[in-house]
Chains A and B, each alone.
Chain A
Amino acid sequence: MLPLIQHEVVDRHKYISYNELIDMISLSESTPGSLAVNIATFVGYKKHGFLGAAAATFGVIVPSFVIIAILSFFIEAFKENEIVSFAFYGIRIGVLSLIINAFLSVYKSFKKTPVNVFLIILTFICVAVFKINAIIMLVFCAAAGIIRAAITRKESLKQ
């Protein structure tokens, strides 16, 4: 996805600079939503304010929207089909592997500290075992991170 975005937005149309693109990638990490949508909104806003942002965001959504809207008719139509059910039986097992793989790459993507590992275990137990809403745990962990940052900041300011 990224090479495509860079080609279209930075190299070809020169809507934003390469550095701005890098900034957007890191901003995307700390704001909700997917990278493609975030970049579309940002680029649209830079070029033409609110209307530009709305147009670019609309544009990035339309292809998936149309594809899924059409596909959903087929999904419904073939739901009762035996062969399709067999295929999806196998596919659900394949998806399990894909998610395990996704977990491994997320897990490797950040530095492990005792606090980090504690937050992983705590969130997992709360969500998977005690069925606590994921939103509550996301807010809790973000707050824990901010408090930790505030404490280290205070200590470094004292010195």
Chain B
Amino acid sequence: MIYLTLFITFFKIGAFTFGGGYAMLPLIQNEVLNHGWTTMEELVNFLAISESTPGPFAINISTYIGMRSAGVLGAICATSGVVAPSFIVILILARCYKAFSNHWAVKGALFGLRPAACALVLSSVLSVFITVFSPFWQESFKISPLLLASLGIFALSTVGCIKKVHPILVIVLSAVIGIILGMAGLITI
């Protein structure tokens, strides 16, 4: 019953989405990679696609994984799964959200959730870093032209991000440099 599995998996992910898309990555890695629905490399590719299309990351990723593993019906199950928790919570709280938001225990929970979400984004940084750079030290580490070029893209895009260049522009520029490197015969796939 792939449809039920998709719904339950994304329900779990949806119930613990605090602090935006990138904080979700460790959760998605855990749940989605274990099922063999995608690879880490494809997941990172999809982060870029999601960044360049409208809509929240949670919706985009659940639609994509659902679609890939079980077609349109799978996409519907995964997407409704990811939305269901927040839908239920908001319905319950719609009448008493003020009392909820101001409750000392909720404020306390939020005090702990913020650093947790922050740490999850940091661990996303680490896993994407490993995905990108681990091929360079898998066999034996040596400084290759591709490594230098990759570090160049990394430096350039990081400076771009800090200077508030639009994310889509960062993605397009990295793509162009990637194509140039590939055409120059530096990337072997």
- Contact string against B for A residues 21-64, beta-carbon threshold 8 Å, 1 for contact and 0 otherwise: 00110110111111111100110011000100110010001011
If A69-B67, A99-B124 touch, does A64 touch B189 (CB 8 Å cutoff)? no
Which residues of chain B are within 8 angstroms of A33 by Cβ–Cβ distance? Answer: 14, 17, 58, 83, 85-87, 89-90
The reply to whether the CB of A7 lies closer than 8 angstroms to some CB of chain B is no
- Contact string against A for B residues 52-82, beta-carbon threshold 8 Å, 1 for contact and 0 otherwise: 0111111110011001100010010001000
The 8 Å CB contact of B87, one of A41, A93, A146, A147, is A41
If A26-B101, A63-B54, A103-B121 touch, does A134 touch B16 (CB 8 Å cutoff)? yes
CB distance from A64 to the nearest CB of B (A): 3
The 8 Å CB contact of B59, one of A34, A85, A87, A116, is A34
- Bound-state CA distance A134–B31 (Å) is 10
- Bound-state CA distance A150–B109 (Å) is 11
- Bound-state CA distance A128–B57 (Å) is 21
* Number of residue pairs spanning A and B whose beta carbons lie under 8 angstroms apart: 335
Query: Interface size (B, Cβ < 8 Å)?
Result: 102
Which residues of chain A are within 8 angstroms of B173 by Cβ–Cβ distance? Answer: 94
The reply to whether the CB of B93 lies closer than 8 angstroms to some CB of chain A is yes
The 8 Å CB contact of A99, one of B100, B110, B125, B160, is B125
The reply to whether the CB of A144 lies closer than 8 angstroms to some CB of chain B is yes
Closest partner residue, chain B, to A88 (CB atom): B45
- Bound-state CA distance A90–B57 (Å) is 21
Q: Is the interface on chain A under 10, 10 to 19, 20 to 34, or 35 or more residues?
A: 35 or more
Q: Give 19 CB contacts A-B under 8 Å.
A: A34-B86, A41-B87, A53-B87, A67-B55, A71-B64, A72-B63, A86-B189, A87-B176, A88-B45, A109-B114, A119-B119, A120-B116, A123-B115, A128-B123, A135-B16, A141-B115, A146-B108, A149-B109, A153-B104
Given contacts A32-B17, A69-B75, A124-B123, 16 further A-B pairs with CB under 8 A are A24-B97, A29-B18, A31-B93, A37-B59, A61-B79, A65-B79, A69-B72, A71-B53, A85-B189, A89-B182, A92-B48, A98-B51, A99-B124, A116-B111, A142-B116, A146-B112
Of all A-B residue pairs in the complex, the 8 with the closest CB atoms, nearest first, are: A90-B178, A33-B86, A64-B55, A149-B108, A145-B112, A86-B182, A94-B174, A123-B119
A residues lining the B interface (CB < 8 Å) = 23-24, 26-27, 29-38, 41-42, 45-46, 50, 53-54, 57, 61, 63-65, 67-69, 71-72, 75-76, 82-83, 85-104, 106-107, 109-110, 116-117, 119-124, 127-128, 133-135, 137-138, 140-150, 153
